[in-house]
Chain A
Amino acid sequence: MKLKKNIAVSENGFLFDPHSGESYSLNKTAQLIVKLISEGKTEVEIMNSIMKKYDVESSALQRYLDDFIMMLHQMNLLEKEDN
């Protein structure tokens, strides 16, 4: 899982995609996940670091993370992976 090149995220949670020219807003949790993805973390590592910081159960987090990653794919913000 890799964020597309040149995607910029501001401290306030604004994300700009220079490929499409589109802007997005992220809440705090989403910002953290995008940051971890850009650092090259795996899904398991992302889960662990969020659970260390936030009060959330792993089954619920897994659901939200799946949904969020699907949205990132939908918005063309992640590199396409070869299956």
Chain B
Amino acid sequence: MKKLKFERPVINHINAGVPDKFGRGTTIQAISDIEDIAVEDFLSQYGSPLYVISEKIIRDTYREALSAFKTRYPKVQFAWSYKTNYLNAVCKIFHQEGSWAEVVSGFEYEKAIANGVPGSKIIFNGPDKSKEDLKRAIENGSLIHIDHFDELYDIMNIAPKTGKKAKVAIRVNMDAGIYPHWDRFGFNYENGEAWTAINKIMPNTDMELIGLHTHIGTYIMTPTAYAIAVSKLAALAVRIKIKYDYHLKYLDLGGGFASKNTLKGAYLPGSDTCPSFDDYAKAITDALNNSDIQYDHMPTLFLETGRALIDDAGYLLGTVLANKRLLDGRRSLIIDIGVNNLFTSFWYEHQIVPTKIKQRDTEDTTIYGPLCMNIDIIRAAVQFPLLEKGDQVVIKRIGAYNMTQWLQFITYRPKVVLIDLDGKTHVIRENETHESMNALDKIPDHLKEIQL
């Protein structure tokens, strides 16, 4: 007699609580391949864990965003936010699509230049610009977005020595009707600080105020907040025209568009609640078109969207290391992806799925990373199928911030692989090795010998 297919024994406690009105199921769809390449093949070829980036998703998402804005307002220019993902291959895809570079440090500035971005197409943001950084940016004709008065005074001193006029904008912070109100960057609109800064720059012959910049926050779920920001920047632009008879060339609305990831504590999944590019584009361009800026002097709209353009293109693949029972009987699963590789797990409930589902039963599971640290939790509680050591998992939407904020901790960082438009794979960043990690260490002579 042929034996029956075996399923692991499962007992689940039945909670007689009231189901939520949305009736979300706990069905988990496995992801066995990414763009027709088996996850198994990725991991056997490149090792586990592994970052995978889809060039197709990057280009499609970028074009969708650009189209949402360009169809409503013709003068639009995106600048790729380096801090969101500054792997050179990723930056080059955005630059091929026409994005300028938006950088926030000398390190990122050097990366942009090395990636072939002309200095005049680099937007230099952030509170940390050294005198050398500023000198180089002025000489290259980069757009310097001034964060505070000390930086303004530095530029006043440095620009005359370069023999060039510094091209500047100021970053403006404001009450855009949302919480938290970011007031640590730039000059405040409501208390008149921004206007004071403008009045210092305009008469200065070594500086040219090209535009105005704001960045109202991150993961902004309310497109109307951008409309408020536009109206306040436009009011400043009109005031500059009245007082100095001068037309600004651009308004930069920064980034902050939400991605479809679910924030911790959110009631509904991010994929249901995240505004679309059209929602943001409509709010921003309506506010611009309805502003008092003269019709034949409408400024270029700059956007520095990062997260919403890259999150969906990134996957993190990994392997189950062990199953364990916690004190209260809950299942815990240990995988080889830790918070060192998935920094965003501190604020997102990342969607994690197996590559195959052997049986339909799920259990309330805590998913831990491999680090010998109590904080290494990928998902605190998720209904998850019963996996075994060696089974593989996929974490979706990890393209933003994880390949810049990753931590070198306890173990080597893994490879990053790009799937190109023809379905070919390319290693775009090698894994760390003992040699690469030790290359920066120095040992003083008296510590070279040890005897145990």
Q: Is B9 a contact partner of A27 (Cβ separation < 8 A)?
A: yes
Q: Residues 1-33 of chain B: 1 if any A CB is under 8 Å from the residue's CB, otherwise 0?
A: 001111111111110100000000000000000
Q: Is B10 a contact partner of A30 (Cβ separation < 8 A)?
A: yes
Instruction: Name the one of B6, B11, B329 contacting A26, with C-beta atoms under 8 angstroms.
Output: B11
Per the bound structure, the CA–CA distance linking A24 and B11 in Å amounts to 6
Asked if B241 CB lies within 8 Å of chain A CBs, one says: no
Instruction: Name the one of B11, B12, B323 contacting A72, with C-beta atoms under 8 angstroms.
Output: B11
Asked if A65 CB lies within 8 Å of chain B CBs, one says: yes
Asked if B181 CB lies within 8 Å of chain A CBs, one says: no
Known: A27-B361, A54-B3. A75 touches B329 (CB 8 A): yes
Per the bound structure, the CA–CA distance linking A25 and B11 in Å amounts to 6
Q: Residues 41-67 of chain A: 1 if any B CB is under 8 Å from the residue's CB, otherwise 0?
A: 000000000100111100001001101
Asked if B325 CB lies within 8 Å of chain A CBs, one says: yes
Q: Is B329 a contact partner of A24 (Cβ separation < 8 A)?
A: no
Chain A residues with CB under 8 Å of B329's CB are 70-71, 74-75
Q: Is B4 a contact partner of A53 (Cβ separation < 8 A)?
A: yes
Chain B residues with CB under 8 Å of A74's CB are 325, 328-329
Per the bound structure, the CA–CA distance linking A24 and B7 in Å amounts to 18
Chain B residues with CB under 8 Å of A53's CB are 3-4
Q: Is B325 a contact partner of A67 (Cβ separation < 8 A)?
A: yes
Q: A8 CB to closest chain B CB, in angstroms?
A: 14
Interface of chain B, main secondary structure: loop
Instruction: Name the one of B5, B6, B16, B328 contacting A23, with C-beta atoms under 8 angstroms.
Output: B16
Q: B325 CB to closest chain A CB, in angstroms?
A: 6
Q: Is B11 a contact partner of A71 (Cβ separation < 8 A)?
A: yes
Per the bound structure, the CA–CA distance linking A26 and B361 in Å amounts to 10
Known: A67-B325, A71-B329. A28 touches B13 (CB 8 A): no
Per the bound structure, the CA–CA distance linking A68 and B4 in Å amounts to 20
Chain A residues with CB under 8 Å of B4's CB are 53-55
Q: B75 CB to closest chain A CB, in angstroms?
A: 60
Per the bound structure, the CA–CA distance linking A30 and B386 in Å amounts to 14
Per the bound structure, the CA–CA distance linking A78 and B128 in Å amounts to 64
Asked if A22 CB lies within 8 Å of chain B CBs, one says: yes
Chain A residues with CB under 8 Å of B13's CB are 22-24, 75
Q: Is B7 a contact partner of A75 (Cβ separation < 8 A)?
A: no
Per the bound structure, the CA–CA distance linking A65 and B9 in Å amounts to 8
Which partner residue on chain A sits nearest B389 by CB separation? A63
Q: Which of A28, A33, A71, A75 has the most CB atoms of chain B within a 10 A radius of its CB?
A: A71
Per the bound structure, the CA–CA distance linking A53 and B4 in Å amounts to 6
Q: Is A68 a contact partner of B11 (Cβ separation < 8 A)?
A: yes
Chain A residues with CB under 8 Å of B328's CB are 74
Known: A54-B3, A55-B3, A67-B325. A75 touches B9 (CB 8 A): no
Per the bound structure, the CA–CA distance linking A61 and B3 in Å amounts to 15
- For window 9-30 of A, CB contacts with B under 8 Å fall at 14-15, 22-30
Instruction: Name the one of B9, B14, B325 contacting A29, with C-beta atoms under 8 angstroms.
Output: B9
Q: B182 CB to closest chain A CB, in angstroms?
A: 47
Instruction: Name the one of A14, A22, A26, A75 contacting B10, with C-beta atoms under 8 angstroms.
Output: A26
Chain A residues with CB under 8 Å of B359's CB are 27
Q: Is A30 a contact partner of B16 (Cβ separation < 8 A)?
A: no
Instruction: Name the one of B5, B7, B325 contacting A27, with C-beta atoms under 8 angstroms.
Output: B7
Q: Residues 273-309 of chain B: 1 if any A CB is under 8 Å from the residue's CB, otherwise 0?
A: 0000000000000000000000000000000000000
Chain B residues with CB under 8 Å of A70's CB are 325, 329
Q: B423 CB to closest chain A CB, in angstroms?
A: 36
Which partner residue on chain A sits nearest B3 by CB separation? A55
A residues near B, CB below 8 A? 14-15, 22-30, 32-33, 50, 53-56, 61, 64-65, 67-68, 70-72, 74-75
A55-B4, A71-B329 known; 19 other A-B pairs, CB under 8 Å?
A24-B12, A27-B359, A28-B7, A29-B8, A29-B10, A32-B9, A33-B9, A53-B3, A54-B3, A55-B3, A55-B5, A55-B6, A64-B8, A65-B9, A68-B10, A70-B325, A70-B329, A72-B11, A75-B13
Q: Can you spell out 14 A-B residue pairs with CB atoms less than 8 angstroms apart?
A: A23-B13, A24-B13, A24-B14, A27-B359, A28-B7, A29-B10, A33-B9, A54-B4, A54-B6, A61-B6, A67-B325, A68-B9, A70-B325, A71-B325
